[in-house]
């Protein structure tokens, strides 16, 4: 039995890719099951509900020796807690590689806009039966991770695969559908601030130390700006508690392709301002036009520092 898992603080891509890849293995006669390392966000909930797909089981560890495949991540820090005790068999991902293994495993990494693109491509390349419900999830995950092709992570492959998947799915207006997804993602109610910051949150080791970067992709920037003071306090708290050099919260305005950035302290703010030539937008807020991708824009810039 292969257990397919996405990353912590799961997003639509990691969840849909895990479900779709487990199904791919089953179609090829293997036993496989997807698992999640956390609750789906509002966008993923919307997608699963729309296509009547059950939410996979949420776990924080798996039985020792379980055969696992990681999707949409390959860094230990983003993975299941007891990864060292598991039998890692494979990785399917679209992030930079930071992976050490004890034995050879199968690794499939493509510089495409989503892991779902890689999984969809496997279905098409190998002629594996692709049911409509799986095609729905893959299509939605590509739209989510590429911000419907607005993100600089988007490739021609992603666009071609969305076209092919939609021949199976048959959504009339993809633009309208993507707006529904983004709206669902933006509907956060009175979510506690710590949860808000960690909704799509990753820790990176750069030259200066460990940095936490939370991203909120939204069609409603004002929601975050109204909660600015609370978020600033939350960032400071996480910085101290997790002993980080700095923590950032990047509010990405999906429709306008720009970002508002909050930092855990003054020094962190200065650093970000310099690295990204950001402008001050009122007390404690930085603004960067064209900044939408942590993976392709933010992390590489910090790594060059």
Site residues, Mg ion (CB under 5 A): 11, 13-14, 72, 114-115, 145
Q: Which CB, 296 or 301, lies closer to Mg ion? A: 296
What's the min distance (Å) between Cβ of 26 and Mg ion? 22
What's the min distance (Å) between Cβ of 64 and Mg ion? 26
Q: Which CB, 115 or 140, lies closer to Mg ion? A: 115
Query: Residue 226 and residue 151: Cα distance in Å, rounded?
Result: 25
What's the min distance (Å) between Cβ of 114 and Mg ion? 5
| Residue whose beta carbon is closest to Mg ion | 13
Q: In a 10 Å sphere around its CB, with 0-12 CB exposed, 13-18 middle and 19+ buried, how is residue 151 labelled?
A: buried
Q: Which CB, 14 or 154, lies closer to Mg ion? A: 14
Give SS3 for 246: strand
Measure Cα distances from 304 to 153, 195, 283 in Å: 19, 30, 28
What's the min distance (Å) between Cβ of 65 and Mg ion? 26
What's the min distance (Å) between Cβ of 72 and Mg ion? 4
Cβ count near 207 (within 10 Å): 9
Q: Which CB, 200 or 220, lies closer to Mg ion? A: 200
Q: Dump the DSSP string for 112-167.
A: SS-HHHHHHHHHHHHT----HHHHHHHHHHHHHHTTTTTSTT--HHHHHHHHHHHH
Q: Which CB, 156 or 277, lies closer to Mg ion? A: 156
What's the min distance (Å) between Cβ of 283 and Mg ion? 28
Q: Which CB, 159 or 236, lies closer to Mg ion? A: 159
The DSSP bridge pattern shows strands 209-218 and 246-253 to be: parallel
H helices of 242-284, in order, are 266-276
């Amino acid at each position: 039995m292969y257990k397919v898992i996405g990353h912590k603080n799961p997003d639509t891509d990691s969840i849909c890719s895990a479900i779709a890849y487990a199904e791919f293995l089953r179609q090829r006669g293997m036993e496989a099951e997807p698992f999640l390392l956390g609750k789906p966000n509002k966008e993923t909930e919307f997608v699963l509900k729309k296509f009547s797909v059950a939410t996979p089981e949420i776990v924080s560890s798996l039985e020792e020796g379980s055969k696992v495949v990681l999707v949409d991540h390959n860094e230990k820090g983003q993975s299941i807690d007891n990864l060292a005790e598991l039998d890692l068999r494979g990785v399917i991902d679209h992030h930079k590689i930071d992976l050490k293994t004890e034995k050879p495993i199968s690794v499939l990494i493509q510089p495409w806009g989503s892991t779902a693109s890689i999984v969809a491509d496997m279905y098409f390349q190998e002629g594996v039966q692709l049911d409509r419900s799986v095609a729905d999830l893959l299509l939605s995950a590509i739209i989510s991770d590429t911000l419907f092709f607005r993100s600089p992570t988007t490739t021609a492959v992603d666009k071609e695969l969305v076209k092919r998947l939609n021949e199976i799915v048959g959504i009339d207006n993809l633009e309208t559908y993507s707006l529904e997804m983004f709206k669902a993602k933006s509907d956060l109610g009175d979510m506690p601030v710590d949860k808000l910051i960690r909704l799509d949150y990753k820790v990176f080791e750069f030259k200066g130390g460990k940095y936490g970067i939370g991203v909120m992709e939204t069609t409603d920037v004002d929601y975050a700006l109204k909660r600015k003071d609370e978020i600033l306090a939350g960032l400071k708290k996480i910085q101290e508690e997790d002993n980080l050099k700095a923590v950032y919260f990047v509010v990405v305005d999906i429709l306008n392709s720009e970002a508002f950035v909050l930092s855990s302290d003054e020094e962190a703010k200065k650093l970000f301002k310099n690295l990204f030539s950001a402008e001050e937008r009122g007390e404690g807020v930085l603004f960067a036009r064209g900044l939408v991708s942590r993976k392709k824009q933010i992390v590489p810039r910090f790594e060059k520092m």
